[in-house]
Amino acid sequence: MIKENMQKAINQQINAEMYSAYLYLSMSAYFESINLKGFANWMKAQAQEEMVHAMKFYDYINERGGRVLLTAIEAPPTQWDSSLAVFEYTYKHEQKVTGLINDLVNLAISEADHATTNFLQWFVAEQVEEEASADEVVQKLKLAGDRGGGLFMLDQELGQRVFTLPTATKQE
């Protein structure tokens, strides 16, 4: 059985993951509106990934005999000054999510909740990947500039991203 304060914190994380999906879907819509379909594709795949994260937390609470309580999702921004601004925002957002995951780990450790500590290790590793992925695009945008051929090439590259369910999440 999951402890009440751990359940509350994970329910808050479900909301944060849903917000992340909503944020990235908003970013995808922004990129669609400025005809950067590859950037839009990357963000749409990112939104799908965040929904998987939310559902992993959702399933975990239920597996531990807890109760999922969903709350309102804050509206995300809808406008940015540039492609670089979007990805800098993404990188900062992922750093914030890393902090939230670390807070959950710290709570689980303080509660001697070994099952939750173990469960959260996947998210700790995932956040390293999430930050690196966003920062990679930031660095490429800084090199390429926000206009012209470099932006076009990066749009083509980001358009190749394909969302795939993590192995442990796939329905067998």
Q: How far apart are CA 124 and CA 32, in angstroms?
A: 31
pTM of the model: 0.93
Note down pLDDT in tens along the chain; length 172 residues: 999 999 999 999 999 999 999 999 999 999 999 999 999 999 999 999 999 999 999 999 999 999 999 999 999 999 999 999 999 999 999 999 999 999 999 999 999 999 999 999 999 999 999 999 999 999 999 999 877 889 999 999 999 999 888 776 544 4
Domain ranges of the chain: 4-162
Instruction: Name the DSSP class of 161.
Output: -
Task: Provide CATH code, domain 4-162.
Answer: 1.20.1260.10
